[in-house]
Amino acid sequence: KRAAVSAVRMKRPVSSLSLGSSLKGKLVRAGFQFTTDLQDLNPEHLSAEAGVSQQEALEALQAASSGHGVAPVTALELLQKEEEFRSIVTFCSQLDEALGGGVPVGKVTEICGAPGVGKTQLCLQLAVDVQVPAVFGGLGGQVLFVDTEGGFQVQRLVDLAGAAVRHCSLLAEDEEQRVAMTTFTVETILSNVRCRDYVELLAELHLLADFLSNRPRLRLLVIDSVAFPFLRLHDDLSQRTRLLQGLGLRLIAAATGHNIAVVTTNHMTTRLHSSQAQLAPALGDVWGHAPSIRLLLRWEESRRLASIVKSPAAPHRLHHLSVAVVTEALWMFG
């Protein structure tokens, strides 16, 4: 029965998707009657076959993907699956404890804050930490780092990777750990994928399911930042809303379906609340529902504070972090 339900749900008419009537008409006239007809296409092919722009093709493929049904599961099955998930440590004992062991696999976590507060640095640290071999208590996973702002600095990652390798080499005591160190090198840690604008970002995510299926060891996807590609769409709120909703659904599906941690960074913007200006994460409530966990970094005098402002497991609490990048390039928290 479950397979039958899934099959029925997946054969969804294209006309029922949350797309403009003109775009849906072009797709139907080109012969794309159901979402299953779009499954094996990429944006370039769909654009050529349906006579639509590449951006419209991306929107259609995104809507079709999010519209595919999945077989229902019980609450017990969901609980058992979540208990199997592990976390990526941040090397901040207080923050790891508040997060329930670290940044969780199977969920979307957002790190937001003003420029220069350390969002990218924490993402780079996680990109190294997720690759720590299992014999040292890590996940021994791989990472996909999407840099949308063009500010990725390889040297920062090299410094962090080198420090992690040296730290683990000092801990290696038995033969299994020493063998693990032969493959845990700076070269194996260095990896990143770069997207310059939101069209490239959505194209990258459209191929994400296949990418993850071919890389079962991948345990972390970082998007730094999720806000930057959408800044130019402030004049077309309806388009931005559709794209953000689709992006959120894709990231949630990737996290839960492929057992990976998704970490995004976000800018801060000014909002009016009770006639007073307040700083709040960018992209509004449409995007705010996507992350399961939201971590806010900010400065207070000479201290860097981390506040878990959204979490299904942890209460709202502040963590005082005094962060400095020292010679070993590790995050030092006090």
Give the pLDDT of residue 260.
94
Class of the CATH domain delimited by 81-332: alpha beta
CA gap 313, 103 in Å, rounded: 12
Cβ-in-10-Å burial (0-12, 13-18, 19+) of 141 comes to: buried
User: What are the residue boundaries of the structural domains of the chain, listed by start?
Assistant: 2-67, 81-332
Amino acid making up residue 19: L
How is 170-200 classified by DSSP, letter by letter?
HH--SHHHHHHHTT-SHHHH---EE--SHHH
The count of residues in the chain is 334
Global pTM reads: 0.72
Place of tokens 């014999």: 135
CA gap 103, 90 in Å, rounded: 7
- What are the average pLDDT values for consecutive 10-residue runs of the chain, which has 334 residues? 41 78 85 82 87 87 69 66 76 80 93 91 91 88 86 84 89 88 84 58 75 87 88 75 85 90 93 77 88 90 83 59 39 36
Q: For 245-277, b where at least 16 C-beta lie within 10 A, e where not — what string?
A: bbbbbbbbbbbbebbbbbbbbbbbeeeeeeeee
Give the pLDDT of residue 267.
92
* Phi and psi torsions of 309, nearest 5°: -95, -10
With pLDDT > 70 as the criterion, what percentage of the chain qualifies? 81
Domain 2-67 classified CATH 1.20.810.10?
no
The residues, any chain, with a CB within 8 Å of residue 42's CB and separated by 6 or more, are: 61, 203, 206, 207
Q: For 67-96, how does the pLDDT look when each residue is reduced to its tens digit (9 = 90+)? A: 554 456 677 766 666 666 679 988 777 788
Take residue 190 and report the two structure tokens written for it. 């260095």
